[in-house]
């Protein structure tokens, strides 16, 4: 098959591409690289002119006056000039409803042209979108990435990016995308739950992880247990980093001689994965039922990841033992969770071993790629 993947936020599409290539398919990935993360693409729409250091002062002034970011236009234009090469694909898959990230009328135009020049189009449910965020705002889940906003509406400015997906203009984009697609595929339970019973929603397919590129490192406990906390400041409250920071401050004060905390902000992907290599425990996120991509890669390395691993997750995979540590939005509970881990180094080692086996069993990139092929073929 010829497959076109559009957009990248977490290395999901890169890993899927690697699985599809291993199965003998032809794959092209088009994306902007997602800001500072700088994920690789076969064909980049990353703004270059707008991001040039000589342009940045003018770009900021222009945005302040007109509330208009020229980088948004540049991404759309770069995609437009690639259209003549993006044709005759059997499958086009969007990373989410706003995969190109240009102005909404231009986004619709580009998606319509892309659909016209190719066969089936699909979209993933793996991040912000109209349906997911509207569901989260309804309060139907025990907690979600929008819980901090629901509990404190003064955080409106912090949540502008997520809330824009629930506006009328993005509702229109959502409706338009659903007219173009053959199906929507959730990638974990935090998205599968909101999409239950939705027309065109297909079965959940877990995130692919390329185990051939990730070395498993059995944990070895020395004088200190190393805890890593990587922060994307744009998602600081959405991921519960404020709660994790507060808990780690308490842990550092109580166990200074026993632990070392490494904290990093806004690192490119390649630097991020190198920095946590020495860690035993990875602090990932709080407001989740299931693991995101960074957590899965850390688990594949044999790390003990504190993340979303709720009872729904354990039930879905039929787990009897912990493969990841569930964090809930409570500082004292996070502290108690960490204290229990620090008191039992042997269990740390065992969880790391089980984590790797879990990824190999349920997230192997070749097996997941096969599931995508079957899902795409199941829809006429």
- At 111-123, the pLDDT tens digits run 999 999 999 999 9
Whether 19 and 58 map to the same domain: the answer is: yes
Q: What is the SS3 assignment for 277?
A: helix
The per-residue pLDDT for 165 is: 96
The per-residue pLDDT for 271 is: 83
d(CA 357, CA 345): 19
pLDDT of residue 55 exceeding 70, the answer is no
Whether 60 and 111 map to the same domain: the answer is: yes
The per-residue pLDDT for 234 is: 85
Whether 197 and 247 map to the same domain: the answer is: no
Q: When comparing pLDDT for 37 and 182, which is higher?
A: 182
Region of poorest pLDDT, from 126-135, 259-268, 345-354:
259-268
The per-residue pLDDT for 57 is: 59
CA-based nearest residue to 244, from 236, 234, 254: 236
Place of tokens 């190719």: 118
Q: What residues contact residue 266 under an 8 Å CB cut-off, 6+ apart?
A: 36, 231, 232, 233
- In the chain, % of residues over pLDDT 70: 94
Whether 216 and 204 map to the same domain: the answer is: no
Torsions phi, psi for 27 (to 5 deg) = -135, 135
Whether 202 and 248 map to the same domain: the answer is: no
Rounded mean pLDDT of 66-89?
86
Asked if 116 and 143 touch (Cβ cutoff 8 Å), the reply is no
Edge-to-edge strands, sheet with 281-283: 259-265, 225-231, 281-283, 304-307, 325-326
Rounded mean pLDDT of 10-14?
93
Q: How far apart are the first and last CA of the chain?
A: 15
Whether 243 and 100 map to the same domain: the answer is: no
Domain count, the chain: 2
Asked if 300 and 213 touch (Cβ cutoff 8 Å), the reply is no
Q: CATH number, domain at 34?
A: 3.40.50
d(CA 107, CA 171): 14
d(CA 213, CA 199): 36
Confidence of residue 50 (pLDDT cuts 50, 70, 90): low
d(CA 253, CA 264): 19
Whether 92 and 233 map to the same domain: the answer is: no
Whether 147 and 248 map to the same domain: the answer is: no
pLDDT of residue 105 exceeding 80, the answer is yes
Asked if 33 and 41 touch (Cβ cutoff 8 Å), the reply is yes
Q: CATH number, domain at 290?
A: 3.40.50.2000
pLDDT of residue 39 exceeding 90, the answer is no
pLDDT of residue 62 exceeding 60, the answer is no
CA 312 vs. chain centroid, Å, equals 19
Asked if 13 and 360 touch (Cβ cutoff 8 Å), the reply is no
Which DSSP letter does residue 81 get? T
Average pLDDT, the chain: 93
Asked if 108 and 21 touch (Cβ cutoff 8 Å), the reply is no
Residue 372 domain boundaries: 2-208+365-377
The per-residue pLDDT for 68 is: 59
Whether 198 and 232 map to the same domain: the answer is: no
d(CA 290, CA 188): 6
Whether 226 and 196 map to the same domain: the answer is: no
The per-residue pLDDT for 67 is: 60
Q: Token digits for 57?
A: 């002062």
Q: What angle do CA 294, 125, 27 make, to 5 degrees?
A: 75
Whether 221 and 165 map to the same domain: the answer is: no
pLDDT of residue 344 exceeding 60, the answer is yes
The per-residue pLDDT for 51 is: 59
Asked if 308 and 291 touch (Cβ cutoff 8 Å), the reply is yes
pLDDT of residue 61 exceeding 60, the answer is no
Rounded mean pLDDT of 64-82?
79
Whether 320 and 373 map to the same domain: the answer is: no
Dihedral of the alpha carbons of 224, 301, 326, 245, in degrees to the nearest 10: 50
pLDDT of residue 133 exceeding 80, the answer is yes
pLDDT of residue 301 exceeding 90, the answer is yes
Rounded mean pLDDT of 256-284?
90
Q: Token digits for 160?
A: 């502008």
pLDDT per residue as tens digits for the range 231-269: 988 889 999 999 999 999 999 999 999 999 999 998 887
Which DSSP letter does residue 230 get? E
d(CA 56, CA 236): 24
Helices in 138-288 by DSSP H: which ranges? Answer: 147-151, 160-163, 168-180, 189-192, 241-254, 269-275
């Amino acid at each position: 098959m010829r497959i076109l993947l559009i957009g990248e936020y977490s290395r999901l599409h890169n890993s899927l591409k690697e699985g599809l290539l291993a199965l003998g398919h032809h794959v092209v990935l088009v994306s902007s690289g997602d800001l500072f993360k700088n994920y690789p693409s076969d064909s980049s729409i990353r703004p270059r002119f707008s991001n040039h250091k000589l342009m940045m002062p003018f770009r900021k002034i222009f945005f302040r006056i007109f509330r208009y970011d020229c980088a948004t236009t540049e991404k759309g234009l770069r995609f437009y000039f690639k259209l003549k090469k993006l044709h005759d694909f059997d499958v086009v898959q969007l990373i989410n409803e706003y995969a190109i990230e240009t102005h909404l009328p231009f986004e619709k135009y580009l998606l319509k042209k892309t659909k016209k020049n190719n066969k089936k189009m699909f979209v993933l449910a793996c991040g912000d979108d109209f349906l997911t965020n509207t569901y989260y705002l309804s309060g139907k889940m025990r907690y979600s990435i929008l819980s901090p906003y629901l509990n404190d509406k003064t955080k409106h400015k912090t949540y502008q990016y997520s809330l824009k997906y629930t506006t009328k203009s993005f509702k229109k984009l959502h409706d338009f995308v659903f007219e173009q697609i053959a199906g929507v595929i959730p990638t974990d339970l935090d998205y599968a739950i909101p999409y239950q019973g939705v027309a065109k929603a297909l079965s959940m397919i877990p995130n692919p992880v390329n185990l051939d590129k990730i070395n498993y490192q059995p944990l070895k406990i020395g004088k200190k247990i190393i805890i890593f906390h990587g922060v994307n400041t744009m998602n600081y409250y959405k991921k519960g980093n404020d709660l994790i920071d507060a808990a780690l401050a308490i842990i550092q004060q109580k166990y200074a001689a026993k632990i070392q905390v490494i904290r990093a902000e806004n690192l490119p992907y390649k630097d991020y994965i190198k920095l946590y290599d020495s860690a035993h425990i990875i602090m990932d996120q709080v407001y989740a039922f299931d693991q995101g991509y960074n957590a899965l890669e850390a688990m594949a390395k044999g790390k003990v990841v504190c993340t979303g691993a709720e009872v729904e997750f354990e039930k879905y995979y039929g787990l009897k033992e912990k493969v990841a540590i569930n964090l809930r939005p409570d500082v004292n509970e996070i502290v108690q969770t960490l204290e229990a881990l620090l008191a039992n180094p042997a269990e740390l080692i065992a969880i790391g071993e089980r984590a790797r086996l879990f990824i190999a069993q349920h997230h192997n990139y070749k097996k997941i790629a096969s599931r995508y092929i079957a899902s795409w073929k199941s829809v006429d």
